[in-house]
Amino acid sequence: MIKKKRNNKYEVAQLDQILEKLVKAKILITISKDNEIIYSQDGVILRNEQSQGASKEFDLLVNREQILNLYWQGNYDQNQLKIGKWTAAWNGQYLNLIGGYYENGLKQGLWGELFLNYRSQAQVYEIGEYIQDQKFGKWIYIYDNEKIIGGSYNEQGLKNGQWNELNHGFMNESQVIYNGEYKNGKKIGMWNILYRWNINQPLKIMQNYYQKVNFSGGGTYDYIESIKIGIWIELCDNLFNRSLVVQRGQYKFGQKIGRWDIFYVGDKIGGGLYDEVNYGVKIGRWIELSDGFWRDSQVTYCGQYKNDKKVGRWDILFKGNHLYSKYEKLGGGQYDEKNSVKFGSWIELSDGFGRNSKIIYTGEYKNDQKVGRWDIQYKEADQEQFLLIGGGQYDKMGDGSKIGRWIEISDGFSDDSKLTYKGDYKNGQKVGIWESFWSWVGNKKIAGGSYDEKDSIKVGRWIELRDGFGLYEQVIYNGEYKNGKKVGRWDISYRQKGMEQFQQIGQIQYDEGGDGIKIGRQIELWDKFNDHSQVYYIGKYKYGRKVGRWDIYLKSDWKFQQIGGGSYDEKGEGTKIGMWIELHDGFRNSNQILQNGEYKYGKKVGTWTQINLRKN
């Protein structure tokens, strides 16, 4: 969580289902006069809650999965201060290691907290002691039942001594840890970077990965000022398992100076100069990497800096992942020499531009805002030319608002998932009927519904596509929206590749009051459901929490069989109890491994064994 004053526009972290990495997603956060916090995206109210407590600031969630799934439960006293035990639930299931006690609004005693970017692919906890709302003593991380020693806090609540810190993007397929020393809350001396691709591997110092350029990851902090000094090897922000990108250069008085180079799997692919007088200021020619740079999307930007501002012509280049591939110029445009704002004609590449998703946007900028007509063009892997597939108009006043009829593409648009959306914008907001089309069925309509003309929220009957919809994941939902919230029964339908018709395979029941709370018996799909892993969960919700018996079914080789399950407590706390058979990480048709063991108060206890369905 972050604490913010009243505001209404944020970018939050969202997991890309295909790349399995964090990307930025635009979420509208509205705080009403009576302190109701409303999170919405694309006409859907993801969450609304009444802000409580004595604080005049607001705890805002900055991770989309947390917005959808994380809820805290506890009590306030007459002064609106938190008191007693507070617990957390994730997607209707109690998190047994998370929570603790408040005394007069202050955390006290043993606490379990969620890692900042906790999500389904990064279930990391931090556990330690609070004294008067201040961390004290030894704190540890817990990830996949493995303890990772963090370090210790002193009596002033400051980090002290040796520490292991997890990278903010730590997740299943990108496990990076920083190791070094703190003194009274300040980093000092040498800090190393450790990494591994999964929990079954040992942590390694990054120098082993970069032997051919003979340097290690990390660098040195000054012992007095705790500022970076000397040569440093740093990770680029969007590191994940297919994108080990680092930059190497020198710090002086905590600021970058001189030549900094960017490396990808050991090869120098970019970089430029920082001023030797005005430390930290970029100058001259630079080659920079796109935010989403990885093996199949090697996109770079090349141009000039003047006093830390982009000026003149900047080109956008792309290189495939073939051995003999070379960078080719695909786009670019001009920056104003005075204010460093985009102007004139530009060709821009999509965020996920790559081997199977070659999409460009062409149009005009005025004072850094898109104006007039912008076209969306796409080139398949075996085509020579880009073809027009969509686009629309931006307001000519220069405020960047979309207007009129638009044809847009899905976030995951690719050779295997050619989804487009058609509808109208009014003052930058979607209004009226919007329809979804898919090229694999002759570009016929497969989904859609209506947006309210006033508030641009979804209303009435909708057919929606499941996140990750594609050739092997053809799942749709059919139900009703009321003021941007799902109500009543929503049917789940599925079509396997090669089949003509969708068939209903599940259902979700929401309360009729418009709170978006799941109730009653449900047939839900596993998060990774697709043609090759058709797994179902069947059970009951009570006020949004799982209760009673939940069974796990698998459809494989045209057979529908129960393969696992267990029980949740009947109190509605979402706590697993008794014996359970669960899916093992990496479960799929060719690797049908289950785990069998016991839960006690939501925590695994005793011996857990593995079951291989293929051998039974």
135-194: per-residue pLDDT in tens? 999 999 999 878 999 999 999 999 999 999 998 878 877 788 999 999 999 999 999 988
Please tell me the predicted confidence (pLDDT) of residue 166: 92
Q: Can you tell me the distance from the alpha carbon of 59 to that of 184, in angstroms, rounded to the nearest whole number?
A: 27
Query: Residue 9 — pLDDT band, cuts 50, 70, 90?
Result: low
For residue 433, count other CB atoms closer than 10 A to its CB.
13
Residue 207 φ then ψ, to 5°: -60, -30
pLDDT at 5 over 50: no
What secondary structure letter does DSSP report for 54? S
Please tell me the predicted confidence (pLDDT) of residue 614: 82
For residue 579, give every residue at least 6 positions away whose Cβ sits within 8 Å of its Cβ, in sequence order, or none. Answer: 566, 596, 597, 598, 599
Per-residue pLDDT reduced to its tens digit, 48-103: 888 776 666 677 887 889 999 999 999 999 998 999 999 999 988 889 889 999 99
Tokens (6 digits) for 149: 């020693």
Of 84-88, 291-295, 346-350, give the lowest mean pLDDT range.
Answer: 291-295
pLDDT at 246 over 50: yes
Per-residue pLDDT reduced to its tens digit, 249-263: 999 999 999 999 999
Query: Residue 334 — pLDDT band, cuts 50, 70, 90?
Result: very high
For residues 482 and 499, the answer to whether their CB atoms sit within 8 Å is no
Per-residue pLDDT reduced to its tens digit, 516-566: 899 999 999 999 999 999 999 999 999 889 999 999 999 987 789 999 999
Q: Can you tell me the distance from the alpha carbon of 161 to that of 175, in angstroms, rounded to the nearest whole number?
A: 22
- Sequence-distant contacts of 569-572: CB under 8 A, at least 24 apart: 569/94, 571/547, 572/542, 572/543, 572/545, 572/547
Please tell me the predicted confidence (pLDDT) of residue 574: 87
Chain-wide mean pLDDT for the chain?
A: 89
- C-alpha to C-alpha distances, 260 to 97, 282, 287, 537, nearest whole angstrom: 43, 10, 11, 51
Helices (H), 232-372: none
**Of 217 and 208, more confident:** 217
Longest distance between any two alpha carbons in the chain, whole Å: 72
Per-residue pLDDT reduced to its tens digit, 364-395: 999 999 999 999 999 987 788 999 999 999 99
The reported pTM is 0.87
pLDDT at 3 over 60: no
- Which of 450, 477, 509, 517 has its CA nearest to residue 48? 517
- C-alpha to C-alpha distances, 168 to 157, 178, 238, nearest whole angstrom: 21, 11, 10
pLDDT at 24 over 50: yes
Of 8-12, 298-302, 351-355, 444-448, give the lowest mean pLDDT range.
Answer: 8-12
Read off the amino acid at residue 281.
V
For residues 497 and 479, the answer to whether their CB atoms sit within 8 Å is no
pLDDT at 483 over 70: yes
- C-alpha to C-alpha distances, 87 to 147, 224, 262, 408, 574, nearest whole angstrom: 21, 41, 44, 42, 11
pLDDT at 247 over 70: yes
Please tell me the predicted confidence (pLDDT) of residue 268: 92
For residues 102 and 82, the answer to whether their CB atoms sit within 8 Å is yes
- C-alpha to C-alpha distances, 297 to 67, 293, 311, 380, nearest whole angstrom: 29, 5, 25, 15
For residue 364, give every residue at least 6 positions away whose Cβ sits within 8 Å of its Cβ, in sequence order, or none. Answer: 344, 345, 346, 370, 371, 372, 373, 374
Query: Residue 133 — pLDDT band, cuts 50, 70, 90?
Result: very high
Please tell me the predicted confidence (pLDDT) of residue 321: 79
Please tell me the predicted confidence (pLDDT) of residue 213: 42
Please tell me the predicted confidence (pLDDT) of residue 585: 78
